[in-house]
Amino acid sequence: MKVLVDTAIWSLALRRKKPPGNEPRLSELELLIEDGRVAMIGPIRQELLSGVKEQPVFDRLREHLRVFPDTDITSDDYEEAASFFNMCRARGIQGSNTDFLICAVAARHGFPIYTTDDDFRHFAKVLPIALHQP
């Protein structure tokens, strides 16, 4: 089964200084990559590439990410993301449009979401999503 890897995990692996020693979250990402189980969507790709100041770094990151084709996003996904936003907001749970789009795509495909963003734990209490547990 594919796993939708969120921006927070990718950032840990690709954009930030790597944590010292053996980082279990990065080891899990490596396993998902080796097994061909990583799912990607365009908005996550855009978040990762946005704000990269140096063109050579941007180009290198873009090339690394091109290995992972985008899962299609449909009009139904955008509508479901809006519905998810409304469901969570009615319960006092806030999130970004991109986060709810991630949830909608994951729910449609049955992809668990791999993230370190605690907002998704709150979303999972309300929405039909699963979080990937290494």
pLDDT tens figures, 113-123: 999 999 999 99
Q: Cα 90 to chain center, whole Å?
A: 24
2 phi, psi to nearest 5 deg? -70, 155
pTM of whole model > 0.85? yes
CB 45 within 8 A of CB 70: yes
Residues (pLDDT < 70) of the chain are: 15-21
Domain ranges of the chain: 3-65, 75-109+116-123
Give the span between the Cα atoms of 37 and 3, in whole angstroms: 6
- The residue type found at 40 is M
What integer best gives the mean pLDDT of the chain? 94
